[in-house]
Amino acid sequence: MEFSGKTVAVTGAGSGIGYATAEAAARLGARIIAFDRDERALNAMRIAFERNNWRLMAVVVDIGDESSIERAIDIDMASVKSVDLLVNSAGIVSRGQFEATTAEEWRRVLGVNLSGSFFCLQKMVPRLKAGVGRAVVNVASLAAKRVSYTGGVSYTAAKAGLLGLTRHAAFELAGVGIRVNAVCPGPVWTAMTQQNVSDEERKKVASMVPLGEWLSPNDIAQAILFLGSPAARMITGTTLDIDGGLSLVTGASPTAYQQARE
Ligand SMILES: NC(=O)c1ccc[n+]([C@@H]2O[C@H](COP(=O)([O-])OP(=O)(O)OC[C@H]3O[C@@H](n4cnc5c(N)ncnc54)[C@H](O)[C@@H]3O)[C@@H](O)[C@H]2O)c1
């Protein structure tokens, strides 16, 4: 995959899937625009990138706040005239059960995971038009098609909405040559899951995955870069599941399936 001389903007770049994507693209020669609300994470990223001579512009932004996105793109990014690939990876989970989900929690989760992705993409369109890559990858989740394991109803609804946003944006923006796709990761071992999953649950989840383990952030990053590269030039409006085969499971774990046949 060729990213030399390209500009790649990544939201939620301070950690997990966003960080792995920024790092993988930088290794391939891209300049990275890193968006995150976590200033400490961005500072650590700056140090790591400088050590490797990778180009980075780090922008503190709250993806759940439209005016903050506007400021980041219009003011902080004013010197960046074109973007080749936008990756919307910023996301949060909620744990609340259905009846206990508060209006505040519902709005917060949809605000970051769904509305934030919409506003980032909408405001980035002029920069994407000015670029040559003209690609967007939204980080949805297996939860978009099923039910979230770590998150609550607001997370599932937001990720399902993100697939609708992906399809519609792909349809309209095809006219200006911008491709929009989504990835649906299964369980990925990142800060998000580490905070919400016990050691016992971690082992149980791994045993449910046909390929036998949690995914790494880099497993998702590689798929994102494929969809964002010219190798995928005729792919738009689609969803790529990266889940070690988890969506194939019908209810029984692979081990239980084998045991029933012994
Ligand atoms: N980890 C998984 O198992 C998994 C599975 C499916 C989908 N996803 C999705 O992948 C994406 C990345 O998750 P991750 O696992 O890498 O999590 P993570 O917690 O490691 O990284 C998320 C990053 O987003 C940033 N962020 C959160 N809210 C923000 C906001 N309002 N403004 C700006 N930045 C914000 C955080 O500071 C953090 O750096 C999310 O959209 C998540 O829903 C994760």
Could you report the per-residue pLDDT of 36-62, keeping only the tens digit for each?
999 999 999 999 999 999 999 999 999
2 within domain boundaries: no
27 within domain boundaries: yes
Our count of domains for the chain comes to 1
Which residue numbers are catalytic? Answer: 155
Nearest to 175 by CA among 237, 123, 117, 225: 237
183 three-class SS: strand
Residue 32 beta carbon below 6 angstroms from any ligand 1 atom: no
205 within domain boundaries: yes
Q: If residue 59 lies in a helix (H) or strand (E), which one and from where to where?
A: strand 56-60
pLDDT > 90? residue 253: no
Output b/e per residue, 89-101; b: 16+ Cβ within 10 A: bbbbbbebeeeeb
* Interatomic CA distance for residues 6 and 103, integer angstroms: 41
Residue 254: its pLDDT value, please?
82
Q: Whose CA is nearest to atom 16 of ligand 1?
A: 16
Residue 115 beta carbon below 6 angstroms from any ligand 1 atom: no
pLDDT > 80? residue 1: no
* Interatomic CA distance for residues 191 and 205, integer angstroms: 16
Residue 41: its pLDDT value, please?
98
pLDDT > 80? residue 250: no
Chain segment 104-163, per-residue pLDDT in tens: 999 999 999 999 999 999 999 999 999 999 999 999 999 999 999 889 999 999 999 999
128 CA distance to ligand 1 middle (Å): 23
Residue 255: its pLDDT value, please?
84
- Mean pLDDT on 85-103: 95
User: What's this model's pTM, rounded to 2 decimal places?
Assistant: 0.97
Model confidence band, residue 166 (pLDDT cutoffs 50, 70, 90)? very high
Which ligand 1 atom lies nearest to the CA of residue 217?
16
Task: Give the helix ranges, DSSP H, for the chain.
Answer: 16-27, 39-51, 66-71, 103-110, 116-130, 153-173, 191-196, 199-208, 217-227, 254-259
In sign, the C-alpha dihedral spanning 21, 24, 30, 33 is: positive
Q: What is the mean pLDDT of the chain?
A: 96
Q: If residue 35 lies in a helix (H) or strand (E), which one and from where to where?
A: strand 31-36
Residue 256: its pLDDT value, please?
82
- Mean pLDDT on 71-77: 98
Boundaries of domain holding 153: 7-259
* Interatomic CA distance for residues 225 and 201, integer angstroms: 30
Q: Whose CA is nearest to atom 11 of ligand 1?
A: 89
Residue 187 beta carbon below 6 angstroms from any ligand 1 atom: yes
255 within domain boundaries: yes
223 within domain boundaries: yes
Which ligand 1 atom lies nearest to the CA of residue 14?
39
Ligand 1: which of 188, 205, 218 to mutate, judged by most atoms within 8 Å of the beta carbon?
188
Q: Whose CA is nearest to atom 14 of ligand 1?
A: 16
234: CATH: 3.40.50.720
1 within domain boundaries: no
Nearest to 134 by CA among 173, 175, 169, 84: 84
90 CA distance to ligand 1 middle (Å): 5
193 CA distance to ligand 1 middle (Å): 10
